[in-house]
Amino acid sequence: MGERDELLKIRNVLENSIGQKVRLTAKKGRKKSVVRQGVIEETFPSIFIVKLDNTIQQLSSSSRRVSYSYTDVLTKAIEVVRC
């Protein structure tokens, strides 16, 4: 029951952060991580979507979106920090 409550807390925090700029740190294995910045665009029952900044990919006119599950935040596979 405790894990479910934690997931609900994470979801509520992210729902209240829609439209705010965040920094994502995704752990990609042993001593590897990727840091990106973007804006929380939408939340759904199982996932949330972040629209990434175009600073790296300026050749592309379309913006890139990534989705993560709330479980990724709970298990610390990604870290979300408001900027």
Q: Average the pLDDT over 17-44 and give the result.
A: 94
Model pTM?
0.83
Would you state the structure tokens that stand for residue 28, as one six-digit string? Answer: 């990609």
Residue 40 CB neighbours (<10 A)? 21
21 vs 56, residue with greater confidence: 21
Contact by Cβ (8 Å): 36, 28: no
Give dist(CA 8, CA 13) in Å, integer: 9
| Averaged pLDDT of the chain | 89
Please name the amino acid found at residue 66. V
Please give the pLDDT value at position 54. Answer: 74
Q: Average the pLDDT over 17-41 and give the result.
A: 94
CATH number of 2-82: 2.30.30.100
Q: Average the pLDDT over 29-49 and give the result.
A: 94
* Strand ranges inside 1-83, DSSP E: 21-29, 32-43, 47-52, 65-69, 78-82
Give residue limits of the domains in the chain. Answer: 2-82
Residue 71 CB neighbours (<10 A)? 14
Confidence of residue 70 (pLDDT cuts 50, 70, 90): very high
Would you state the structure tokens that stand for residue 4, as one six-digit string? Answer: 């479910």
